[in-house]
Amino acid sequence: MKKILISAIVCIQMINLSAQKGEYLPTTADLEKFFKTKTYVVLEESPLSEYNFEIQNIMSREWKITDFEFIKNEDFAEKSKNENYSFIYPSIVNFERDRTEARYVFLHLSLGGENLTIDDLRDIVSVPLGYYGVDPDNYIYKLGIIIRFMQKHIKLIYNDPGLIDKNIFSHYNDNIRNARDKLLYVVADELAKEVSTEARIKKVYSNRFRIVTREEIKQAIEEGNNDVIFLHKVGPEGKKIEARCYKIIIGAGDANFYYFDYHKISDKKPDGFLESDFAKLNK
């Protein structure tokens, strides 16, 4: 896939840094190396960046596993050459064999190294945040829980290296059974029409749920509400494009992934959480 470093202000502005980058599976040696690194959190160029404001608050509160420091975007390229450093940064991603040229915003945690460009950095974990061009307000408030998930994910695959070579998200989908006693929060505009009302959802989903606002999800995250799981949906939101629609169910308190899937958007599978997704959660 390709990665392009981004700058998030009110909308996302692209910086001209792009190169081919294949998907990378971390090794046990990478993970051992990571815990000895200093982590640099790359800030965006604009002093008005909401991402900068959020990530600085979040890291001070949530980051526990390495020493860290914030750096300016302009210093990223040089520091990325040092194998003793790791980096947290957002980028625009598009997949090399995807003819739609759809672009997504991912948050990455990567290792630096000699003779590597920014786009060659070895990803330890990356998580889709949003679709490129969509209002960042739709995902910025989730940064804290995603940072917490990243740390849990790294510890998980470090303690169980056998998961590295498997489809790690099948492991997370095993958590579906643990979601049955949780209260699922979903936002109305992230649901497919076939499940856009409480009555329609109840036909396929027998567990507890609420259709809520983004502010209510943010509150559950801030409170660390262990009773709540919520939908994190990544898609083009109204733009007519055959992109991927990512669907992740995340624990507001424990930062676990309870469900991970995506589908290609089409007339039959619109940009949203589908009836079939609710059915899978209901099993």
- Under the banding of pLDDT at 50, 70 and 90, the label for residue 60 is very high
Average of per-residue pLDDT values in the chain: 89
Instruction: Give the residues across from 131 on adjacent strands.
Output: 104
* Same domain, yes or no: 257 and 205: yes
Mark which of 159, 190, 216 sits at the end of a domain: 159
Is residue 169 predicted with pLDDT exceeding 80? no
* Same domain, yes or no: 57 and 146: yes
* Same domain, yes or no: 90 and 133: yes
Query: Is residue 249 within 8 Å of 229, Cβ to Cβ?
Result: yes
For the stretch 184-206, pLDDT in tens is 999 999 999 999 999 999 999 99
* Same domain, yes or no: 141 and 178: no
* Same domain, yes or no: 69 and 17: yes
For the stretch 90-149, pLDDT in tens is 999 887 766 777 889 999 999 999 878 777 899 999 999 999 988 899 999 999 999 999
Please state, in angstroms and rounded to a whole number, the distance separating the CA atoms of residues 122 and 102.
23
For residue 243, give its domain range. Answer: 168-282
- Under the banding of pLDDT at 50, 70 and 90, the label for residue 237 is confident
Predicted structure pTM score: 0.90
Give the model's pLDDT for residue 2: 64
Tokens of 261: 């899937």
Strand 209-212 relative to strand 38-42: parallel, antiparallel, unpaired? unpaired
Q: Name the domain count of the chain.
A: 2
Q: Which of 237, 51, 217 is nearest to 143 (CA)?
A: 51
Mark which of 109, 141, 159 sits at the end of a domain: 159
Distance of CA 45 to the CA centre of its chain: 22
Tokens of 218: 């943010």
Give the model's pLDDT for residue 8: 38
Q: Please name the residues in contact with 219: beta carbons below 8 A apart, sequence gap of 6 or more.
A: none
Residue-wise burial string across 45-72, b where 16 or more C-beta atoms lie within 10 A, e elsewhere: eeeebbbbebbeebbeebbeebebeebe
* Same domain, yes or no: 152 and 188: no
* Same domain, yes or no: 269 and 143: no
Mark which of 134, 159, 184 sits at the end of a domain: 159
* Same domain, yes or no: 124 and 218: no
Query: Is residue 220 within 8 Å of 185, Cβ to Cβ?
Result: yes
Give the model's pLDDT for residue 240: 65
CA-derived radius of gyration, the chain: 18
